[in-house]
Amino acid sequence: MAGIQLVKGTIEPSESYLSASERELKEEAGITLKAEYPLLEWQRRLDEPVWSICMMAAGDHLPDHWDHYCKDDGGHVFQYFWHPLSLPPGSEWHPVFIDALTVIRKTLVGMQHR
């Protein structure tokens, strides 16, 4: 079991972090949002990929939870929900995503104190 994860993907050649974030969100979650700016680059360990995490604009009329069929890897139906950043992820989350959310939360808190 993969546990609870975040939407993520690969940046295509000649694609910006921002456009890759928009494309991956549409492909994997079925949601169209505008990427506002890069929030941070993060690498959990040296043997793992670098993540470029972007801040997305708020969307109108987004559901609290939804299912989306993603064509990647032969096709999967993913179940989505919004996780409040103020709450820590639970044990059902994959460890790499727990670490990513921790870094995102710290970055956002740091930005509020500037």
Write out pLDDT tens, residues 31-59.
999 999 999 999 999 999 999 999 999 88
Q: What is the DSSP letter of 84?
A: P
For residue 96, the SS3 value is helix
Domain ranges of the chain: 17-112
1 pLDDT higher than 60: no
28 pLDDT higher than 80: yes
Distance, in Å, from the CA atom of 66 to the CA atom of 69, rounded to the nearest integer, reads 10
**50: closest CA among 11, 18, 14, 20?**
11
The answer to whether 29 touches 7, Cβ cutoff 8 Å, is yes
- How confident is the model at residue 114, as a pLDDT? 73
Specify the pTM.
0.84
Distance, in Å, from the CA atom of 110 to the CA atom of 82, rounded to the nearest integer, reads 22
